[in-house]
Structure 1
Amino acid sequence: MAQGCSDAGFCTMGALRPDQKFSRRVNFRLRSVEVSQYLGMTRFDDLVWVTTAEATFGLNNDNYFHIKLPYQHTVGPLGEHGGLSDLSLSYTRTLRREENWQVSASVGVKVPMSSPNLTSPEGLPLPMYYQPTLGTYDIIAGASWISKNWLFATGIQHALTRTPSDFLWAPWQGHPMEEIILLYPQSNNLRRGTDVMVRVERSLRLGNKNFYLGMLPIYRLQEDIIVRPDGTEIQVADTNGLVLTALGGFGYQFSTKMGIKGLVGYRLIQREKNPDGLSRKIVFSLGYEYRF
């Protein structure tokens, strides 16, 4: 969910999304709109609220476009700050469909709708945990295999540009909040590493209800890079490696047109530092979908 997710946005795009339903029948409702509300808690006990609007436009039963735009609002010891997040656009195609399974692939982009330059009332730069956007242009690619009860997906996300953040500790020296500020990793002119994800889910579908459990490992291939006050670049130690989240969710269809879905995610393994502000201890999400 862009800044609102525990990843940089690609785990909820196209073929990489959770809770994908396999059906042998042709889907005559090729368009849908969805509104969801998300709540995440960071390791610093900031509360991150994200409201997301998204839509799917099917060209036919094997090709569709997916678009989503979140609005993020963060509440914590550094105040309340919010704004538009990153627009995600993806195209998905079903590559092969068999009696009991199908394979799909997606390509997409993420475009910033604002800049990560929100400041304190005194004009001091805020950590990325309080910024609604990563401020980068990203490319995404991935694929999924789904059956009646299983979902396997994998994808990659690469940032083409740097995050134009100004957050450093130095401007906060002598401030009453300096002790708290020092807990947040610096992110000045951040170059984010490339992420690779794998999604594994087991689902149970009972009529108009469904439940699922899953695991979502995300591996950052390189350490993040920031620019120090003297203008030199440094690699930030402990910013690459594995993040692992356990997931559980449900869905309920009121009719062929309308339904709700919910999700809970709990962090099992996390990286030591997250200059991009994406670390979440636990997340909750509830959404409403309308198909037409």
Structure 2
Amino acid sequence: MKRRIHKWEVLVMLLIFLGAERVNAQGCSDAGFCTMGAMKPDQAFNKKVELKLRSIEVSYYYGESTSSPIINVANLDASFSITNNLGFQIKLPYQWVTGNFDNTSGMGDISLSVTQRLSSSEKYDINATVGMKIPSNDANLKDSGSKRPSSKGLPLPMYYQTSLGSYDFVAGGSLISSEWLVAAGIQMALTANSNEFWRGEWQPPVYPSSEYVSTYDNATKLKRGTDIMIRVERNFRFSNYSFNIGLLPIYRITKDRIADRTTGEYKKLEGTTGLALTALTSFTYYFDVSNNVKLSYGKKLTDRDVNPDGLTRDQVFIVAYGFRF
């Protein structure tokens, strides 16, 4: 007999979303930290129907930053079973950005991971993931001069970069039941990038508004801090559709560092640690056991004070088609 859905479970999450409508924040990295392996949202769980162990998902991501850039990503997410309990995932994104400074486009960072099922029963699964992110470029795209010739050749802020420019290590685990998903993970940048953005170079007359320029944080040779994430998700599953609501807190436990432009020595940036909290929801319709479409929405609740990595989003929308085989 299926467990009855309590009204309070839905009400609490709805209040969170309503309260988030006017709040800006910073959330999960577009590099894919929160959607790798065991940390992935809305994972299938059905012990009565044998799930197909290979899948391909094609998605479109639309993200609004707290400044002018709009981030668009087309992503191919493929998962393959190695054994019944071991799987491999690869994510191949293509990203394009439009903003007041310039428009950019290019291949995003590649995500690779393996996931092992550690324990399985009729009521739950426990999984663990290790993986890495491979940069597609050095995160130092220059302004093309298409919007104002005076800025041609200047390094662009991280918001406009199609890569974070670093090799990252990722690990995590999850517990999944028919109603709940609880996951935790860590992402560590192993290297610095080559970004050379310095907002002093963009001040008037190069760009007419110094106030706007100040919305971007300096990111010279950025070495991002380490992130810890926790995903808590309540799923409501039916025969042909499902939906979920959840929270995604991410805590940066170490400070970002940038290089001094004169000496080259690294310095820690104040305000780059702390909590970033996101409220999430998604709806999935299943045409059959192999085909589905999914709509997802995320809204930020809290933010860190300083975000040189360019990952801050007001809200994100995702539409995806998935195929299992």
Matched pairs, number: 289
Q: What's the CA shift for 1:29?
A: 1.9
Matches within 5 A, 1:134-145: 134-145=164-175
Q: What's the TM-score, normalizing by structure 2?
A: 0.86
Matching of residue 176 in structure 1 with residue 207 in structure 2: yes
* Contact kept? 1:163, 1:189, Cα under 8 Å: yes
Matching of residue 148 in structure 1 with residue 181 in structure 2: no
Per mean C-alpha deviation after superposition, the further-off stretch among 22-31 and 180-189 is 22-31
Matching of residue 10 in structure 1 with residue 33 in structure 2: yes
Q: What's the CA shift for 1:124?
A: 0.4
Q: 1:269 to 1:127 in 2, by over 3 A?
A: same
For 1:103 and 1:216, locate their aligned partners in 2 and report how far apart those are by CA, in whole Å. Answer: 19
Matches within 5 A, 1:104-143: 104-120=127-143, 121=145, 122-143=152-173
- 2:229 paired residue number: 197
- 2:4 paired residue number: none
Q: What's the CA shift for 1:57?
A: 0.4
For 1:216 and 1:148, locate their aligned partners in 2 and report how far apart those are by CA, in whole Å. Answer: 19
For 2:165 and 2:209, locate their aligned partners in 1 and report how far apart those are by CA, in whole Å. Answer: 25
* Contact kept? 2:27, 2:277, Cα under 8 Å: no
Q: Which runs of 5+ in 1 are unaligned?
A: none
- 1:259 paired residue number: 292
- 2:103 paired residue number: 80
Q: SS of the residue aligned with 2:184?
A: strand
For 1:157 and 1:285, locate their aligned partners in 2 and report how far apart those are by CA, in whole Å. Answer: 22
For 1:61 and 1:28, locate their aligned partners in 2 and report how far apart those are by CA, in whole Å. Answer: 11
Q: SS of the residue aligned with 1:15?
A: helix
- Identify the match of residue 157 of structure 1 among 170, 176, 187: 187
| Runs of 4+ with >4 A deviation | none
- 1:101 paired residue number: 124
Q: SS of the residue aligned with 2:122?
A: coil
What are the Cα deviations for residues 4-59 of structure 1, in whole angstroms up to 9, with x where unaligned?
97325210100000001212247452211111000011111321111101101012
Q: What's the CA shift for 1:87?
A: 0.3
Q: What's the CA shift for 1:128?
A: 0.1
* Contact kept? 2:27, 2:250, Cα under 8 Å: no
Q: SS of the residue aligned with 2:225?
A: coil
- Identify the match of residue 196 of structure 2 among 166, 181, 199: 166
Matching of residue 67 in structure 1 with residue 90 in structure 2: yes
For 2:86 and 2:27, locate their aligned partners in 1 and report how far apart those are by CA, in whole Å. Answer: 26
Q: SS of the residue aligned with 1:271?
A: coil
Q: What's the TM-score, normalizing by structure 1?
A: 0.95
Q: SS of the residue aligned with 2:312?
A: coil
* Contact kept? 2:155, 2:196, Cα under 8 Å: yes
* Contact kept? 1:30, 1:59, Cα under 8 Å: no
Q: SS of the residue aligned with 1:251?
A: strand
Matching of residue 58 in structure 1 with residue 88 in structure 2: no
Q: Percent identity?
A: 43
For 1:243 and 1:5, locate their aligned partners in 2 and report how far apart those are by CA, in whole Å. Answer: 6
For 1:147 and 1:177, locate their aligned partners in 2 and report how far apart those are by CA, in whole Å. Answer: 54
What are the Cα deviations for residues 162-207 of structure 1, in whole angstroms up to 9, with x where unaligned?
0211111233244134623222001000111000000000010111
Matching of residue 19 in structure 1 with residue 38 in structure 2: no
For 2:127 and 2:276, locate their aligned partners in 1 and report how far apart those are by CA, in whole Å. Answer: 25
For 1:272 and 1:177, locate their aligned partners in 2 and report how far apart those are by CA, in whole Å. Answer: 25
Partner amino acid for 1:82?
S
For 1:117 and 1:56, locate their aligned partners in 2 and report how far apart those are by CA, in whole Å. Answer: 31
- 1:214 paired residue number: 246
For 2:99 and 2:34, locate their aligned partners in 1 and report how far apart those are by CA, in whole Å. Answer: 25
Q: What's the CA shift for 1:69?
A: 1.1
Q: SS of the residue aligned with 2:301?
A: strand
For 2:182 and 2:87, locate their aligned partners in 1 and report how far apart those are by CA, in whole Å. Answer: 19
Q: SS of the residue aligned with 1:43?
A: coil
* Contact kept? 2:250, 2:275, Cα under 8 Å: yes
Partner amino acid for 2:246?
G
Which structure has greater strand proportion?
A: 1
What's the Cα RMSD here?
1.5
Q: Which runs of 5+ in 2 are unaligned?
A: 1-25, 146-151
